[in-house]
C-alpha cells in the first residue's frame, strides 16, 4: 500500500478508505477504552490523530508508541469529531519502526527554551517551532529563485574560496590546506599557518558581489545565492559567522532602479510566504509574536520611506530617545538608530541613501558632493539593516582614487578594474542577508534560531 503524506490527508475529502501513514509520535494520551496518538511526518505543522481502540490495542501493547518514536499506521480515514480537525485515522495496525526511550528522549511534551534547543541542534527540527521555521525558510529560498527567474535574472555561482576581501573590512576566515605537503612545517615540525592555499593566501568569501559584477557586465541581470562567512566575534541576535546572502547585480541600473527592485523583491518574498506558509506563520504568530501577521501584511502594503543619511541624522539628533551610541554626521548608524527610525519615527520600512563615503565600501559610486556615496540600506522593523546595497563606481579613475584612500590594494583587484576599462556602464546591486529575512518573516527573536546549524563564536560542533 502506498504511504500517504499527512499534509494531504488532513484536507482529503474522500473518506472511509484504508490508508497507510508513517511519522513520529508527538503525544499519546487516552483512557482504558481508547488511546489518541498525535502523529507528525514533517510535511505540516498539524498532527494527524490516530485513534487506537482498546479492543484492538490494549494499552500495554502501546508502550513503545511513545513521544519521539517513529511508527507506521494502517487504518481507516474517517471524519473526526475532535476540535480543530476534520479527519482522523481509526487504527487497524500499528508498527513501531524506531523506539524513543522516554527516560532518554529529550523532547518530551513540555516546552523547551530556545536556548536549550540550540544545544540539541540534531533534534530541534522535530519540534513544532523548528519544523515551522524550516518550512518557511525553504519556501523563501524557493521564492527567491522564482522571483529572479520570472524577472530575467540569471543565477550565477560565485566562488567560496577567494583571494579578495570584497568589503575591505578584514572579517575573513583564512583557508588552510592540510594536505600532506601543505602547509609547510616550521623548524620544530609544527604546522606553519602563515602559508595556506597551496602557497597563496585565500579566504572564505564575505560576499559574492565583486565576482557577481563580472557576470552582470556580461549577462545584464544576475544574482548569487550562497553561503558567506564573516569572522564576527560578536554575540548579537543579528549576526552569524556563516550566513546565506542573496546578491542581485544589474548592469544599466542606477540607485533609483536598485531601490525599486529591493522594495519589490522584499514585498514579493513576504507575499509568497503569506500565501504559501499560512499554517506555519499562524502557529508562529500565536506562539511567539502576536503582531507577526499584522506586521507582514503591513510591509506588503506600505510604501517604504526613502530618505538620505543626512536627513536621518537630523531626525536622530532631535529624537527624545537616549541612544547608547551618540549620533553625528559621519558615523555609521547602529542597529538602535536604525530601529528607532523604522519602529518609532516612520513606523514602516525605510531605505536610507547617500551615506558618508568613510563608513561605506570602496566600490560605491561617489556623489557629486565628493563626501557621500550612492549607498542604500533597507531597514526593517525588529531587524534594522536587512539589505545593504549601492550603485557601483563605474569610473576607472575615481575607483582607483577611492581604493587608494581606503587602502585597498589595486594589484589584487586588477580584474575588477578591468571591468571599468572595457565597456564600463552604470550598474548597481545589493545584498540581502537570507537569515535576516527569515528572522523577519518568522518573527523569531534570534538569528541562531532560523538556520539549521548556526555558526557563532565557540559554536560549530557539528
Q: Which residues bind ligand ATP (CB under 6 A)?
A: 167, 230, 232, 238-240, 243, 245, 385-388, 431-433, 435-436
* Strand-pair category, 305-308 with 350-356: parallel
Greatest distance between any 2 Cα atoms in the chain: 86
Name the residues that contact Mg ion, by CB under 5 A: 385, 388
Q: How far is the CB of 389 from Mg ion (least distance, A)?
A: 8
The partner in contact with residue 387, picked from ligand ATP, Mg ion, none with C-beta cut-offs of 5 to 8 angstroms by kind, is ligand ATP
Q: How far is the CB of 119 from ligand ATP (least distance, A)?
A: 21
Helix (H) or strand (E) holding 403: helix 396-405
What grid cell was written down for 30?
A: 487516552
The partner in contact with residue 211, picked from Mg ion, ligand ATP, none with C-beta cut-offs of 5 to 8 angstroms by kind, is none
What grid cell was written down for 163?
A: 583571494
- What residues does 350 pair with on adjacent strands? 305, 379
The partner in contact with residue 402, picked from ligand ATP, Mg ion, none with C-beta cut-offs of 5 to 8 angstroms by kind, is none
The partner in contact with residue 386, picked from ligand ATP, Mg ion, none with C-beta cut-offs of 5 to 8 angstroms by kind, is ligand ATP
**C-beta closer to ligand ATP: residue 73 or 432:** 432
Q: How far is the CB of 377 from ligand ATP (least distance, A)?
A: 7
**C-beta closer to ligand ATP: residue 327 or 386:** 386
Q: How far is the CB of 358 from ligand ATP (least distance, A)?
A: 14
**C-beta closer to ligand ATP: residue 238 or 420:** 238
- Measured distance CA(108)–CA(110) in Å, rounded: 6
Q: How far is the CB of 193 from ligand ATP (least distance, A)?
A: 24
The partner in contact with residue 245, picked from Mg ion, ligand ATP, none with C-beta cut-offs of 5 to 8 angstroms by kind, is ligand ATP
SS3 411: helix
Q: How far is the CB of 241 from ligand ATP (least distance, A)?
A: 7
Residue 438 backbone class (left: φ over 0; alpha: ψ -120 to 50; beta: rest) = alpha
The partner in contact with residue 256, picked from Mg ion, ligand ATP, none with C-beta cut-offs of 5 to 8 angstroms by kind, is none
- CA 64 and chain centroid, separation: 37
**C-beta closer to Mg ion: residue 272 or 362:** 362
Q: How far is the CB of 99 from Mg ion (least distance, A)?
A: 46
The partner in contact with residue 167, picked from ligand ATP, Mg ion, none with C-beta cut-offs of 5 to 8 angstroms by kind, is ligand ATP
**C-beta closer to Mg ion: residue 249 or 385:** 385
Q: How far is the CB of 443 from ligand ATP (least distance, A)?
A: 17
**C-beta closer to Mg ion: residue 243 or 272:** 243
With CA atoms as reference, report the closest residue to 420 among 391, 390, 400: 400
In terms of Cβ atoms closer than 10 Å to its own Cβ (0-12, 13-18, 19+), residue 221 is: buried
The partner in contact with residue 349, picked from ligand ATP, Mg ion, none with C-beta cut-offs of 5 to 8 angstroms by kind, is none
The partner in contact with residue 337, picked from ligand ATP, Mg ion, none with C-beta cut-offs of 5 to 8 angstroms by kind, is none
**C-beta closer to ligand ATP: residue 77 or 450:** 450
Q: How far is the CB of 411 from ligand ATP (least distance, A)?
A: 24
The conformation of residue 174, written as its DSSP 8-state character, comes to: B
- CA 439 and chain centroid, separation: 7
Under 8 Å between Cβ of 400 and 226: no
In 85-182, alpha helices (H)? 114-119, 128-150
- Measured distance CA(291)–CA(354) in Å, rounded: 32
Q: How far is the CB of 438 from ligand ATP (least distance, A)?
A: 10
The conformation of residue 358, written as its DSSP 8-state character, comes to: G
425: number of Cβ within 10 Å = 13
Q: What are phi and psi of 439, to 5 degrees?
A: -60, -50
**C-beta closer to Mg ion: residue 388 or 426:** 388
The partner in contact with residue 221, picked from Mg ion, ligand ATP, none with C-beta cut-offs of 5 to 8 angstroms by kind, is none
Q: Tell me which residue has its CB nearest to Mg ion.
A: 388
**C-beta closer to ligand ATP: residue 337 or 420:** 337
- Measured distance CA(218)–CA(234) in Å, rounded: 38
**C-beta closer to Mg ion: residue 232 or 257:** 232
* Strand-pair category, 48-53 with 34-40: antiparallel
What grid cell was written down for 148?
A: 529572479
**C-beta closer to ligand ATP: residue 135 or 360:** 360
Q: What are phi and psi of 274, to 5 degrees?
A: -60, -40
Q: How far is the CB of 4 from ligand ATP (least distance, A)?
A: 39
Residue 326 backbone class (left: φ over 0; alpha: ψ -120 to 50; beta: rest) = beta
In terms of Cβ atoms closer than 10 Å to its own Cβ (0-12, 13-18, 19+), residue 293 is: middle
Under 8 Å between Cβ of 231 and 173: yes
Amino acid at each position: 500500500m502506498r504511504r500517504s503524506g499527512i499534509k494531504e490527508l488532513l484536507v482529503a475529502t474522500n473518506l472511509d478508505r484504508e490508508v497507510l501513514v508513517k511519522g513520529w509520535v508527538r503525544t499519546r494520551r487516552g483512557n482504558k477504552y481508547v488511546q489518541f496518538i498525535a502523529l507528525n511526518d514533517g510535511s505540516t505543522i498539524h498532527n494527524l490523530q490516530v485513534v487506537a481502540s482498546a479492543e484492538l490495542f490494549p494499552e500495554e501493547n502501546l508502550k513503545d508508541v511513545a513521544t519521539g518514536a517513529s511508527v507506521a499506521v494502517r487504518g481507516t480515514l474517517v471524519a473526526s469529531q475532535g476540535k480543530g480537525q476534520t479527519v482522523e485515522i481509526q487504527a487497524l495496525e500499528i508498527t513501531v519502526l524506531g523506539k524513543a526511550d522516554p527516560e532518554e528522549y529529550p523532547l518530551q511534551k513540555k516546552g523547551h527554551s530556545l536556548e536549550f534547543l540550540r544545544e540539541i541542534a540534531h533534534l530541534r527540527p522535530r519540534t513544532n517551532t523548528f519544523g515551522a521555521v524550516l518550512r518557511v525558510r525553504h519556501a523563501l529560498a524557493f521564492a527567491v529563485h522564482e522571483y529572479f527567474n520570472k524577472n530575467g535574472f540569471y543565477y550565477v555561482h560565485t566562488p567560496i574560496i577567494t583571494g579578495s576581501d570584497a568589503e575591505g573590512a578584514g572579517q575573513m576566515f583564512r583557508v588552510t590546506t592540510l594536505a600532506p605537503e601543505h602547509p609547510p612545517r616550521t623548524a620544530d615540525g609544527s604546522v606553519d599557518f602563515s602559508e595556506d592555499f597551496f602557497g597563496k593566501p585565500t579566504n572564505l568569501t564575505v560576499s559574492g558581489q565583486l565576482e557577481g559584477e563580472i557576470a552582470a557586465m556580461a549577462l545584464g541581470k544576475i544574482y548569487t545565492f550562497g553561503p558567506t562567512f564573516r569572522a564576527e566575534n560578536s554575540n548579537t541576535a543579528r549576526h552569524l559567522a556563516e550566513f546565506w546572502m542573496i546578491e542581485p547585480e544589474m548592469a544599466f541600473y542606477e540607485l533609483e532602479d536598485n531601490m525599486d527592485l529591493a522594495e519589490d523583491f522584499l514585498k514579493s518574498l513576504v507575499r509568497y510566504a503569506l500565501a504559501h506558509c499560512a499554517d506555519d506563520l499562524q502557529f508562529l504568530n500565536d506562539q511567539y509574536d502576536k503582531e507577526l501577521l499584522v506586521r507582514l501584511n503591513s510591509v506588503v502594503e506600505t510604501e517604504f520611506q526613502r530618505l538620505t543619511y543626512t536627513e536621518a541624522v537630523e531626525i536622530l539628533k532631535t529624537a527624545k530617545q537616549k541612544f547608547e551610541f551618540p549620533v553625528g554626521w559621519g558615523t555609521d548608524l547602529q542597529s538602535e538608530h536604525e530601529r528607532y527610525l523604522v519602529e518609532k519615527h516612520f513606523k514602516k520600512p525605510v531605505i536610507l541613501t547617500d551615506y558618508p563615503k568613510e563608513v561605506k565600501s570602496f566600490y560605491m559610486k561617489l556623489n557629486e558632493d565628493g563626501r557621500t556615496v550612492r549607498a542604500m540600506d533597507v531597514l526593517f522593523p525588529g531587524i534594522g539593516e536587512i539589505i545593504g546595497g549601492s550603485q557601483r563606481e563605474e569610473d576607472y579613475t575615481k575607483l582607483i582614487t577611492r581604493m587608494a584612500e581606503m587602502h585597498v590594494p589595486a594589484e589584487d583587484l586588477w580584474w575588477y578594474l578591468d571591468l571599468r576599462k572595457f565597456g564600463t556602464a552604470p550598474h548597481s546591486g545589493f545584498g540581502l542577508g537570507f537569515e535576516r529575512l527569515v528572522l523577519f518573516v518568522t518573527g523569531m527573536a534570534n538569528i541562531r534560531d532560523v538556520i539549521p546549524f548556526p555558526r557563532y563564536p565557540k559554536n560549530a560542533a557539528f
